[in-house]
Amino acid sequence: MAKTRSKSIRNKAIKLFEKHGGTLRTFEAIAAGIHPRILYELHKSGLLVQIQRGLYALADLPDINEPDLITVTKKIPQGVICLISALYFHHLTIQIPKWIDIAIPQTYKPPNLNHPPVHFHWFSDVMFNAQIETHDFHGVKVRIYSAEKTIIDCFRLRKKVSTPIALEALKRYLTRKNANLKLFRTLAKQSRVTRIIEPYLEALTHDQS
């Protein structure tokens, strides 16, 4: 009887995740009625994966692909693909996105999307309008931040992305022949993260010299 009840509770938790696009933050899950112990059990059993601290996703959530980017662009033409989603596009991370990170202006109210899962990030005008590239996906123009801008944003929003992911992206970027350190440092200064990034930059460029 106890096992049946436990299974029912776990199934209910999984359905709540599915209802919210497959991802939930810990406080969102608890607010939705999922006990922390259930989160722990689902994670331990492999039904949930921890994307980052305080953020869980269904383990069988499909990877984000090109059709998903096209869908989001059509629904939110004002948005710009950013952070881990943009890192993945630029081949700067091995992290496989389980949702689409999209930057929007602070005054913009986004529509509700049932699919694909989307995480919105409100950027100031200065942060939002810098280094937007347009890429053609089967005739649809998808807006994505440049590699340099994306890495800078990952350091600027490192509490959301995590410093290790941002640092790995920086390492990968610096191995490229077209790495533009002048542009990178200019963007870091504009984003006020020079103090954070410069020690990493100096150490990594020194190692390569």
Give the model confidence (pLDDT) of 132-164 as tens digits.
Answer: 999 988 788 999 999 999 999 999 999 889 899
> Mean pLDDT over all residues of the chain?
86
What would the pLDDT profile of 22-58 be if each residue is shown by its tens digit? Answer: 777 788 888 888 888 888 888 888 888 776 667 777 7
User: Given pLDDT bands bounded at 50, 70 and 90, which one contains residue 169?
Assistant: very high
pLDDT value for 1? 46
Residue 198 shares a structural domain with residue 130: yes
Q: For residues 126 and 85, state if they share a domain.
A: yes
How far is residue 200's CA from residue 170's CA, in Å, rounded to a whole number?
9
Sign of the CA dihedral running 151, 154, 155, 161: negative
pLDDT for the residue numbered 2: 47
Domain tally for the chain?
Answer: 2
Query: What range does the domain containing 31 cover?
Result: 2-58
Q: Are residues 47 and 85 in the same domain?
A: no
Task: State the DSSP string of 110-158.
Answer: PPP-SSS-EEEEEE-HHHHHTTEEEEEETTEEEEEE-HHHHHHHHHHTH
pLDDT tens sequence across 42-51: 888 888 877 6
